[in-house]
Structure 1
Amino acid sequence: MKSDLTTPQHSQSSTRPGFRELFRNRHFMCLWTAQIFSQFADRAVFVLFVAVLTSQRAVLDPQQSIGAAEITSWLYVAFTIPAIALGPLAGVYVDRCSNKIVLILSNLARAFFVSMVTLPWIAHSPKACLALAFLVSIGSQFFGPAETSSIPRLVKKEDLFHANSLFFTTMMIALGFGFAVGEPIISRTGVAQAPLAIALAFALAALLLFELPGNKPLNGQHDPWWEELRCGLAYIVDSPPVFRAILKITLLFSTIITLNIIAVGLAEQVMHIQPFQFGYIVAAAGLGMGIGNIWVAKTGHNNPSNLLVYRGFAGLGLFMILLGMLGFIQKFIFPMVGLTGVYFGGWLMVVPLTLAAFTGISCAFVAVPTQAALQSAVPEELRGKVFGAQNTAMSTASTIPVVLAGLSSDNLPGGVSTTLLLLGLPTLLGAIYHLSRISRNLARNGSNGA
């Protein structure tokens, strides 16, 4: 069996790789801090557009007024189309230009587009708002691959585990809590002034990025963009380890997004709390992923990358199964022992929250070593195209599972519990299969070397 990407190994230098070295790296800290501002602003933008679009219903013709759910659906479409269609193309231009310039311009462009929401003719036009959302999303497609490509250029190879653990932790915190940031911003500043506050976050991110070193000349001869795109995609297809790494990250991201949707049903059907309180579950999973990221960064380099990744998938499948079993336990097991009407709420809420935290830890076992190995293996001149394609794959692959998860959670017998079992069982079985193959190969190699 062909091996996957190798884990970045620590050098035998006198300086021990770790978070302390990263925190002393001024360029890395500027990039990471810019990511924090940019990620949270990107999530708050969605909340802003929802607030603006829903407020417009009061001034529209009542016969043409659309509901909040339909508004949100169209907004998702406006944000998703660039993510699916433009990711690889954005990667081509990320490779052509200085990552620093791309990062700065993408943040300044998003700041400009968001600030335009304050204009009356835009604030009162649903079509104009959706067009601006589309443009903001385009800016995000350039920021993603440029940021990911910059990490291996700014840190040592042996520090990639720690760097990616910080970036994935920030991404998960923004995914879990970023949308919650938009509401207090709008409440404090009002819908009219909120765009300026969010635009300021993008502008601060751009300002921080001026500290980064440039890496590419802005002139030079290039093949047509479609030829560069073909070369980048051919590299992914012709490099099985790179293809498998992108596939693993895509599967993980799709599962994470799906679990965020399922968390709403889990809160209502299993924990018997209000659906909007699903943030408790997301927060527990985010905390778990933060803990897992730190643990993997500290000790993961001592283990083969494949072993870490498939242990992570095994844990992810196992804890999804355990979460799914909770609904059946409270429906069938509790009444058998005289606990009719007892749910996993109140102090018993600690059970699903703990399982959610372990689910997050399992995600870290997959994300950090896979992304670190991918960054280490891909040549610098191809990073933009590869990571642009990765972002497109992640966005595309997450769309259908999210829709199916929502439908199955509401309509299948057992609801969210059945959905979790359907997700968890194949994940666990697939991980066990790959772990057994890896263990046999390690044992065979060990016996050959003995």
Structure 2
Amino acid sequence: MRHCEAGKPTWRRRSEQLSGSAASTPDTSRRGLQAVIRLDGFRRLWLGQIFSQLADKFYIVLMVFLIAQYWVSSDPASSGPLADVASAIRMDIETRAERITLLATGIYVANTVPAILLGMLAGVWADRWPKRRVMVASNAMRALLVLFAPFCLVPGPLFLGLSWGYWALLVMTFFESVLTQFFAPAEQAAIPLLVPRELLLAANSLYQATSMAATIVGFALGEPILRLLNGAFLQLGLAGGEFLLLPFCYGLAAVSLSTIQMHEAPRETGDVGILEEVREGLQVLVKRPTVRRAMRNLVLLYSLLAAMYVLAISLAGSIYSLGPTGFGSLLAMSGLGMAIGAVVTAQVGHRISRHHLGATGLATITFALVMLGQLQGRLLITLLLCTILGVGAALVAIPAQTTLQEDTPERERGRVFGLQNNLINIALSLPLVLAGTLVSSVGLEPVLLLLAAMALLAAVLERPWKRC
């Protein structure tokens, strides 16, 4: 192993001693996915993650499904209020798909705002409260919250030309996202309590692969599953079968998480205020360069990925056999690459130092972006390069997340992971707006080269020529 173990901080040694469930795990000599799945507590946490992340994706699909079914007519003449809104933001809504997109944008905004505003504050409370209780409560409350969705279809008054039910869905989405902000940092902070340090890289690799799989499965199969449930219940003479999917998934996540046995060090808050704890969380970045570098790499990575969501449309448009609407194929190949990179990292990543993995991933992303700019229009090469880009993304994300878990003191993990959620959601939002504008102004290739230069600079800042 080459992890620069010498001079391990005293707080980390004490933290490892306090994490009874992890420290007492037998046979940590074995590495990789099989070893980490054998950990009972982590396995239950992983199952909770699967159901929770699937529910998050199904939630977005259900909202778009309801918008399409109940609030968007196929008659363009009926979209008067929407036309006013679209004109204000310079958006064309001539087709039904464009009108659905406009209303779905409101759902996306309601889902994103809490992540930007509340992430670190929620992380403070995740530090104060028992992690298992936070995870169980947040999933159970989301299961109850989504049960109100059918009531939003009840006819009622109009506000700004739209049914009250649509605005109620926006409010429900906002509070669903608020609860997610409590779950996410508690979940990340629980991993080091359940997994020995030797297996953290494998655990995060499995989480990364699962997250990508949940994204692909959730968005690809969400609508067919909803229609299947709706049709099955209609055959029984019942309506609303599609509304059972979300409470079922969130409920299973809560049940799985409630069975975890987790040993946490007692937390004394004393008279320390929330803002003071937020400041202490920020101080972790100042005092610990490894945490700061890991956070920087994660923010940069998600900025690059968000930009690629937009650029994929132009890339697909340059391929005659694909076309702009085939951009999903490019994103799917990137997801496949991330899953492959996660499995490889889990199996062999423990033999390589964290910053070497990160630098390799950033260099891989740089290569993929440069070649994508140079070789536009070639289907197979573009698909291969998107896969390579995904592999590089996994090599950056997994070591960085593992470093955050290893080098952040246990009592401050929640607020640091809350800050991570803040920064990543900002990093996801800004490129979505800027990338399309830049492509319109200067073209696709210069934008890809600009992103490649950013990745290359980050790779150099990792100082891969140093052993530690």
- TM-score, length-normalised on structure 2? 0.81
- Matched residue, 2:260: 212
**Residues 159-174 of structure 1: pairs in structure 2 closer than 5 A:** 159-174=199-214
- Matched residue, 1:333: none
Instruction: Please tell me whether residue 196 in structure 1 is matched to residue 280 in structure 2.
Output: no
Q: Which deviates more from structure 2 when the two are superposed, residues 128-137 or residues 265-274?
A: 265-274
- Matched residue, 1:64: 81
- Matched residue, 1:90: 122
Instruction: Please tell me whether residue 155 in structure 1 is matched to residue 195 in structure 2.
Output: yes
- Matched residue, 2:312: 263
1:98 Cα deviation from its structure 2 partner: 1.1
2: CA distance between counterparts of 1:172 and 1:261? 18
Contact 2:206 2:346 in 1 (8 A): no
**Residues 39-438 of structure 1: pairs in structure 2 closer than 5 A:** 39-54=53-68, 55-58=70-73, 62-65=79-82, 67-120=99-152, 125-190=165-230, 192-216=240-264, 221-222=269-270, 223-270=272-319, 272-327=321-376, 343-344=377-378, 349-409=379-439, 411-414=440-443, 416-431=444-459, 433-434=460-461, 437-438=463-464
Cα displacement string for residues 42-61 of structure 1 (whole angstroms, at most 9, x for unaligned residues): 01211211222342234997
Cα displacement string for residues 389-429 of structure 1 (whole angstroms, at most 9, x for unaligned residues): 001100012211111112333x1354x34432221233235
Contact 1:245 1:370 in 2 (8 A): yes
1: CA distance between counterparts of 2:356 and 2:35? 27
Cα 1:282–1:181, aligned 2, differ >3 Å: closer, same or farther?
same
1: CA distance between counterparts of 2:203 and 2:276? 32
Cα 1:14–1:427, aligned 2, differ >3 Å: closer, same or farther?
closer
Cα 1:19–1:171, aligned 2, differ >3 Å: closer, same or farther?
same
Q: Give SS of 2:259's match.
A: coil
Contact 1:326 1:417 in 2 (8 A): no
1:147 Cα deviation from its structure 2 partner: 0.8
Letter in 2 for 1:207: V
Cα displacement string for residues 337-362 of structure 1 (whole angstroms, at most 9, x for unaligned residues): xxxxxx52xxxx32111111111111
Letter in 2 for 1:244: R
Q: Give SS of 2:260's match.
A: coil
Cα 1:107–1:83, aligned 2, differ >3 Å: closer, same or farther?
same
1:196 Cα deviation from its structure 2 partner: 1.8
Q: Give SS of 1:16's match.
A: coil
Letter in 1 for 2:284: Y
2: CA distance between counterparts of 1:309 and 1:322? 20
2: CA distance between counterparts of 1:14 and 1:99? 24
2: CA distance between counterparts of 1:272 and 1:418? 24
* Identity across matched positions, percent: 34
Q: Which runs of 5 or more residues in structure 1 are unaligned?
A: 328-342, 446-450
Letter in 2 for 1:159: L
Contact 1:232 1:386 in 2 (8 A): yes
Letter in 1 for 2:110: A
2: CA distance between counterparts of 1:268 and 1:39? 31
1:121 Cα deviation from its structure 2 partner: 5.3
2: CA distance between counterparts of 1:14 and 1:127? 52
1:280 Cα deviation from its structure 2 partner: 1.8
Contact 2:31 2:347 in 1 (8 A): no
- TM-score, length-normalised on structure 1? 0.84
1: CA distance between counterparts of 2:409 and 2:427? 25
Contact 1:98 1:217 in 2 (8 A): no
Cα 1:25–1:216, aligned 2, differ >3 Å: closer, same or farther?
closer
2: CA distance between counterparts of 1:270 and 1:100? 48
1:69 Cα deviation from its structure 2 partner: 2.9
1:120 Cα deviation from its structure 2 partner: 4.4
2: CA distance between counterparts of 1:65 and 1:78? 18
Letter in 2 for 1:189: L
Cα 1:258–1:214, aligned 2, differ >3 Å: closer, same or farther?
same
Q: Give SS of 2:375's match.
A: helix
1: CA distance between counterparts of 2:121 and 2:413? 13
1:294 Cα deviation from its structure 2 partner: 1.7
Cα 1:94–1:399, aligned 2, differ >3 Å: closer, same or farther?
same
Q: Which deviates more from structure 2 when the two are superposed, residues 252-261 or residues 158-167?
A: 252-261
Contact 1:270 1:326 in 2 (8 A): no
- Matched residue, 2:20: none
Q: Give SS of 2:261's match.
A: coil
1:70 Cα deviation from its structure 2 partner: 2.3
* CA root-mean-square deviation: 2.9
Letter in 2 for 1:209: L
Q: Which runs of 5 or more residues in structure 2 are unaligned?
A: 13-22, 84-98, 156-162, 231-238
Letter in 1 for 2:414: G
2: CA distance between counterparts of 1:141 and 1:316? 29
